[in-house]
Amino acid sequence: METPRIVGILLMGILVWCCMATSANADTKMIYKDSNQPYNVRIKDLIGRMTLEEKIGQMIQIERNVSSPEVMRKYFIGSLLSGGGSEPTPQASPKDWIDMVNEFQKGSLSSRLGIPMIYGIDAVHGHNNVYKATIFPHNIGLGATRDPELVNRIGVVTALEVRATGIHYVFAPCIAVCRDPRWGRCYESYSEDPKIVQDMTEIIPGLQGQIPSSYPKGVPFVGGMESVAACAKHYIGDGGTTKGINENNTVIDNKGLLSIHMPGYVSSIRKGVATVMISYSSLNGVKMHANYEMVTNFLKKNLRFKGFVISDWEGIDRITSPPHANYTYSIEASVNAGLDMIMLPYNYTEFIDGLTYLVKNNFVPMSRIDDAVKRILLVKFTMGLFENPLADEKFVEQLGCEAHRELAREAVRKSLVLLKNGKSADAPLLPLPKKASNILVAGSHADNLGYQCGGWTIKWMGFSGNNLTTGTTILTAIKNTVEPTTKVVYNENPDAEFVKSGGFSYAIVVVGEHPYAETKGDNLNLTIPEPGPSTITNVCGTVKCVVVVVSGRPVVIQPYVASIEALVAAWLPGSEGQGVADVLFGDFGFTGKLSFTWFKTVDQLPMHVGDPHYDPLFPLGFGLTTQPAKAQ
């Protein structure tokens, strides 16, 4: 009678099989892919499944030109970026960008756990790397508008144009407080005044979406497919280095640090900024990329920032001098200081090997790795990347569209600062008459789109000429504005005899700095390069003239002021030069106010309101106003 025994064995086998199947099914149910689950539950589930190799991969950001879908899959790369001028093809279309980003993303999605990557780009004055994008005034000009609501709208538009190319993440805004205009990044700063910089963090809810009032403090917020993750940079003290030397040392006491350089970060975190980028510079001799006290203890613990902290480009290499001299130490120091994602951007296998060694030998605790990965995953979940990893083409028509250019034109108008208007207050030159027999336009910057956009435009260092993107030069804008009967004569650098013989009713001279970025912009003399001064002298010594200065900061102008009838600071206005003509000719009035002190001589620098030696050519907050002209 073996039958009952056999049946019992079979039943027992079936029961065991069912239990195993149920267990396997539970194991394969990937909770992290369930959008109905809270973020913390999804993160806990996902991180519990990840190997050390997969975790380290999430902490890596590399340049697109050293990557491929296979690299993304094999090394579990967490993020890609385009550096300045890095594009799929010259003059790439939005579709070209989308196709490229999606190909990389498909590589990430084909990895074991299918964790999507996040793609970053420097969209610091519009989507400035991309052909035909709207280029807004650089931050120094936006600071002169004193208009946070305008800056918010610029954030909204920038996010749409970035999404038009399939990109999710922007390395903006720069909330540096530039305390010395000799610094080559001063145009990336809204102001030397921390209150103005703090006000302008209103660009963050423009980029990321408006944070709900009940949202928990310090938690990153990105509201939907029309928004992008933002990055407050460069933490901290980047604008306070000695003599404005880029990547140098900021010497400051705690009170000064908290009152000058910190307020912008407090506001940014309150507004849900997703990421914070660390500064190349040192704080009282300690490299910020290795500063545990400021990154972990202050930013993460004191300010309760819950997003991820990212390095700057090769920032950890520069912990040592010379850079990369002891890369294992640089990895250890930066990760233990609290950096979560490392913008390598090239040597990813060296970084993987180095960090793996450090973790396995207990130089970097696994808890630090887990903290970094949790923060990165939180941003990705918040953005909806797991639900919508691939971009479509629904926003492509947004890039450089007319409505966006009109907004940029408005920003230009509001950013212009009128520094002088006529030999006396009762004899103003501006607004200029649209109807005149013959007017002269001169200067190296009058018909040069690259010059008026400045650095970080199409290429890292910017460009010269009118061929690399689209927009309206100031010369074209003038021609568009004057009466058809008004003859506009353009001579880039006329001699005095030409001006005398021309019979001009008045002249507009547009001169300024050539494009630059970062360290190449450091400048100890701040003079306008030739032939700018010669053009001012030749023209303004002969005919009534308005000088428009196109620059990324206050420059030496005092020697010429007496001969100039009217003087306008136009900063780096971007692609929409029509905004300059709008105000010169009185369709709109001048309203801009200096967000930086305009010095007399560089020997006075650094110089700020309240200093005993404060004796500027034009003080912080200065700006003459005009009313719109009546129909002429």
* Residues with active-site annotation: 312, 518
Please give the Cα distance from 619 to 598 (Å, whole number): 6
Q: Which helix (H) or strand (E) holds 3?
A: helix 3-28
Cα diameter, the chain: 127
| Alpha helices, H only, 531-589 | 532-540, 558-561, 578-584
Please give the Cα distance from 137 to 145 (Å, whole number): 11
Question: Is the Cβ–Cβ distance between 118 and 78 less than 8 Å?
Answer: yes
Tokens of 56: 């380290």
The letter for the amino acid at 613 is: H
The letter for the amino acid at 167 is: I
- Angle, CA 24 vertex, CA 22 and CA 25 arms, to 5°: 65
CA distances from 123 to 57, 167, 226, 281 (A): 25, 10, 15, 22
Burial 124-137 (b: 16+ CB within 10 A, else e): bbbbbbbbbbbbbb
Question: Is the Cβ–Cβ distance between 565 and 423 less than 8 Å?
Answer: yes
Give the neighbor-by-neighbor strand order of the sheet with 566-571.
417-421, 566-571, 545-550, 506-512, 438-442, 487-491
Residue 242 backbone class (left: φ over 0; alpha: ψ -120 to 50; beta: rest): beta
Question: Is the Cβ–Cβ distance between 194 and 187 less than 8 Å?
Answer: no
Strand partners for 342: 60
Please give the Cα distance from 237 to 257 (Å, whole number): 7
Classify residue 183 by its DSSP letter: S
Please give the Cα distance from 137 to 132 (Å, whole number): 15
Give the neighbor-by-neighbor strand order of the sheet with 60-63.
169-170, 118-121, 79-82, 60-63, 342-343
Please give the Cα distance from 488 to 475 (Å, whole number): 9
Question: Is the Cβ–Cβ distance between 252 and 240 less than 8 Å?
Answer: yes
Tokens of 101: 């980003």
Question: Is the Cβ–Cβ distance between 190 and 200 less than 8 Å?
Answer: yes
Q: Which of 339, 225, 203, 224 is nearest to 271 (CA)?
A: 203
CB atoms within 10 A of CB 244: 25
- 416 Cβ neighbours under 8 A, 6+ residues apart: 144, 568, 569, 570, 573, 579, 580, 583, 590, 592
Q: Which of 305, 309, 374 is nearest to 43 (CA)?
A: 374
Q: Which of 297, 158, 299, 320 is nearest to 234 (CA)?
A: 299
